[in-house]
Amino acid sequence: MGPYLLGLRLSGRRVLVVGGGHVAQRRVPALLEAGAVVTLVSPGVTPALDDLIAAGRVTWHARPYEVGDCDGAWLVQACTDDRAVNTAVAAEAEAKHIWCVRADDKDASAAWTPASGRVDEISVAVTAGGDPRRAAGIRDAVVGALRDGTVDARRSRTKPVGVALVGGGPGDPGLITVRGRQLLAQADVVVADRLAPRALLDELAPDVELIDAAKVPYGRSLAQDKINEILVDRARQGRFVVRLKGGDPFVFGRGGEEMIACARAGIPVLVVPGITSAVAVPSAAGVPVTHRGVSQEFHVVSVHVAPDDPASTVDWPAMARSQGTLVLLMAVERLAKVAEALLRDGRSPETPVMVVQDGTLPTQRTVVAPLSTVADRVSAAGIRPPAIVVVGDVVRVGQEVEMVRAERLP
């Protein structure tokens, strides 16, 4: 017969664990998380258990099991590597009408410990006929589906309210955070940027209102005031709104303006950080923005206006003098003027520059050239936005990695 599944509320209740090895090491933290008062009986323990004992979270009797140890326990875990000891522990527990889990013999065990997981208020437990590997695999699949919204999360009674500013990451839909994907699955309205991971939009339920908030360079664009108005209007209708943005909402994403607009309207706002393309795209192209002995700093600069534009607030002479890495966003159309400014103020003409278009996506393209010629090379290659520009000697680190890889190929 199959087991009768029951969720035990162990807060404040004594649980006996016999054995101090790796099985106990896995089970004790879950018992503590459930609020159990854990007593551990074992001549020795693993370092991880020793740490819990030192912190006062577990009572340890450093000796072998003795008859009477089960007294006062609500639950017993027999986790030693000695079958005879586990049999004795289980026999005492059975005689005293205490549920006992044997780690060594599922058929002789009065109870099974399920493979368990938790997503917000939802707990998942799987037994799979006492097969722990199979149970863990099924548990992982269910928990993953709950986290990314594959399992319908929109039916929850505790669905979020207001507006969530969600950073979608650098482009690859797999690089959005777990929390961001979960909220996207719960949305009633999605207001999406052009650089948001648009492949995720195909997964939205048919009744989700999708609003295109694209800002195409030198093309069609939805004004920021209008975006703010939409966020407030839909949230006031009682609908949960996700503002899906590329990268991180607060890195040149105007998330601060949207948060202020919602706050002024009394709309609750949840901010979910995203992986900014300023770091992710160079990484995807094999270039670290910092590297020991090469660069201990990096600067992220928006080049939505040229260095000689009166609206520019960037200290370009300081950028030229810096020995750190420069990561330039929205710079492709003004790359010639950027190079001119950096060269004029002291950067070496031989400074390596990497330009990456469509970073993290299957269409990713890369151009590497010296600062003195990079603008011409990029133009000749037909590189278009969105693209990230990396200026500095860290570009050579990426090239070195590629050379090492090439040398190791058969």
**Each residue's pLDDT tens digit, 172-194:** 998 999 889 889 988 999 999 88
The predicted model gives 285-311 an average pLDDT of: 94
Listed residue (223, 222, 232, 227) closest to 163, CA to CA: 232
The predicted model gives 203-212 an average pLDDT of: 87
Segment among 51-60, 91-100, 400-409 with least mean pLDDT? 400-409
Query: Is 159 designated active site?
Result: no
Q: Which of 69, 172, 188, 193 is catalytic?
A: 193
Q: 278 versus 200: which is more confidently predicted?
A: 278
Share of the chain above pLDDT 90, in %: 70
Instruction: Give the per-residue pLDDT at 314.
Output: 95
Q: Where are the domains of the chain?
A: 14-113, 162-272, 278-404
Query: Is 193 designated active site?
Result: yes
**Would you say 293 and 306 are in contact if contact means Cβ atoms under 8 Å apart?**
no
Instruction: Give the per-residue pLDDT at 129.
Output: 80
In whole numbers, what is the pLDDT of the chain averaged over residues? 90
pTM of the model: 0.67
pLDDT in tens, 6-18: 889 999 999 999 9
Query: Does position 25 have pLDDT exceeding 80, yes or no?
Result: yes
Instruction: Give the per-residue pLDDT at 152.
Output: 61
Domain 162-272 falls in which CATH fold?
Cobalt-precorrin-4 Transmethylase; domain 1 (3.40.1010)
Superfamily of domain 278-404 in CATH is: Tetrapyrrole methylase, C-terminal domain (3.30.950.10)
Query: Does position 167 have pLDDT exceeding 70, yes or no?
Result: yes
Segment among 47-61, 117-131, 280-294, 299-313 with least mean pLDDT? 117-131
Tokens of 277: 């393309």
Instruction: Give the per-residue pLDDT at 216.
Output: 56
Instruction: Give the per-residue pLDDT at 43.
Output: 97
**Residue 125 — pLDDT band, cuts 50, 70, 90?**
confident
Return the number of other C-beta atoms located less than 10 Å from residue 2's C-beta.
Answer: 6
Instruction: Give the per-residue pLDDT at 336.
Output: 96
Superfamily of domain 14-113 in CATH is: NAD(P)-binding Rossmann-like Domain (3.40.50.720)
Query: Does position 340 have pLDDT exceeding 80, yes or no?
Result: yes
Q: How far apart are the two ends of the chain, measured CA to CA in Å?
A: 57
Segment among 120-129, 242-251, 256-265 with least mean pLDDT? 120-129
The predicted model gives 344-364 an average pLDDT of: 94
- The residues, any chain, with a CB within 8 Å of residue 265's CB and separated by 6 or more, are 232, 235, 236
Segment among 53-62, 220-229, 323-332, 401-410 with least mean pLDDT? 401-410
Instruction: Give the per-residue pLDDT at 206.
Output: 84
d(CA 163, CA 257): 13
Query: Does position 208 have pLDDT exceeding 60, yes or no?
Result: yes
Highest mean pLDDT among 100-114, 185-199, 297-311: 297-311
Q: Which of 50, 82, 106, 215 is catalytic?
A: 215
**Would you say 141 and 159 are in contact if contact means Cβ atoms under 8 Å apart?**
no
Tokens of 117: 């997981």
Instruction: Give the per-residue pLDDT at 158.
Output: 66
The answer to whether the peptide bond before residue 114 is cis (omega within 30 degrees of 0) is: no
Query: Does position 219 have pLDDT exceeding 70, yes or no?
Result: no
**Residue 320 — pLDDT band, cuts 50, 70, 90?**
very high
DSSP 271: E
**Would you say 387 and 354 are in contact if contact means Cβ atoms under 8 Å apart?**
no
Alpha helical stretches, state H, 208-322? 224-236, 255-264, 277-284, 316-321
Segment among 61-75, 136-150, 273-287, 320-334 with least mean pLDDT? 136-150
